[in-house]
Amino acid sequence: MAVAAEYYLLLSAAIFCIGLFGVLTRRNALIFLMSVELMLNAANINFVAFSLQHGNLTGQVFALFGMAIAAAEVAVGIGIILVLYRNFSDVDVTKATTMRW
């Protein structure tokens, strides 16, 4: 019993909207980073769903690349957040107008 592709697309759209809401409304850098991860995972769900729909592995390979990009983004983002916290003693992205000290 296969799940229709429309359900995957609805799930992906919901996750993407949650991530977009988090990026646009939150000031905390960690929540900002997690919201970007949600948006990347929504794209990965779409890749896998279309891969399943068309019966090839291309979407799954792109999903793996998306996960690698997400992991690299987290590594760089955590570094930026650590520097932000060290310099401003807070992770509010609106307080840091420059990364120079």
Burial of 1: CB neighbours in 10 Å, binned 0-12, 13-18, 19+ = exposed
* Mean pLDDT comparison of 17-21, 70-74, 81-85, 86-90, highest-scoring range: 17-21
More confident residue, 38 or 94: 38
For the stretch 1-17, pLDDT in tens is 678 889 999 999 999 99
